[in-house]
Amino acid sequence: MRLRLINFLLRALSLIPLSVAHMLGAGLGLLAWWLPTTLKRNTLINLKLCYPDQSGQWINTTARASLQETGKALSELGWFWCKPRRTLEQKISAVHGQQHLDDAIATGRGVILVSPHLGAWEFCPLVMAPLDSAVFMYRLPRQAALDPVFQRARTRFGAELAPLTPGGIKKVFTALRSGGTVGILPDQEPDEGSGEFAPLFGTPAYTMTLLSGLARKSNATVLYVAFIRLPHGQGYDIHYVPADPDLANADTSVATTALNRQIENCINIAPTQYLWSYKRHRLMPDGSRRRYHR
């Protein structure tokens, strides 16, 4: 019943103009701001941690706008997961740094596209689909019944999925060694023992070491990619940003610091479009957990 309802909502959202879908999403975000929601509390906590020198007014304004953008990220899923490829491609307004991607592909060494939870990150499987041996890494959903929805939506243009499991990681190495392309979300808190603390806007964040290991062992070219949402449903700008060379450093402290430094640069393109509601700083260096909930 739940899956049928989700599919119905996705289809319904795909039938309305993107501008209207974004208006609905922004409305959901405002509701999350006006009410004492967990999303609001998490967003305020993270912004205060990462921007301690900013005024309370700036924090509140940014938090409210971020929740609206998060709402848009939900309401645009109908488009990303149901619309034809050509329709979505027509919504790409501009591509910045395309030469970085072209040069990376030309090396034949494999490409790792790093897409933070910024803007319309669900665009990543669409962009990857025409590239050779395209594999998108993802974390299995907590509700296993939702996995078929993600699988169908993210593979419908040809990209394959690889879960963050030993088998999935093996699949990724195989793709990179054949000169393929791999997509990965770098800013999820990894399982304990699979990361290291590195600064993110000056605050320690438990950061994956998987990405630096992939880059080092495969010798692939790493590019960050950000899909920035334009106002009023006008479309999206794509930004390709080269990785910091230290990302592949054998010293995981150096590598994770480089990873987060470039995530910061991507966020600075459109700070309000980052998923500040994610409990990114939950685990702390002393082993305790930050209280995001009252």
Write out the H or E segment, with its range, that includes residue 258: helix 252-267
CB burial of residue 282 (10 Å; 0-12, 13-18, 19+)? middle
Domain membership flag for residue 14: yes
Q: Is the pLDDT of residue 191 over 60?
A: yes
Domain membership flag for residue 120: yes
pLDDT in tens, 93-118: 999 999 999 999 999 889 999 999 99
Print the domain residue range for 53: 2-273
Domain membership flag for residue 281: no
Number of Cβ within a 10 Å radius of residue 31: 14
pLDDT in tens, 239-292: 999 999 999 999 999 999 999 999 999 999 999 999 999 999 999 999 899 988
pLDDT at 44: 97
pLDDT at 64: 98
CB 264 within 8 A of CB 200: yes
Domain membership flag for residue 287: no
Domain membership flag for residue 282: no
List phi, psi (to 5°) of 222. -110, 130
CB 71 within 8 A of CB 27: yes
CB burial of residue 45 (10 Å; 0-12, 13-18, 19+)? buried
Domain membership flag for residue 239: yes
CB 161 within 8 A of CB 135: yes
Domain membership flag for residue 291: no
Q: Is the pLDDT of residue 294 over 70?
A: no
Q: Is the pLDDT of residue 182 over 60?
A: yes
Q: How many domains does the structure of the chain reveal?
A: 1
d(CA 132, CA 122): 19
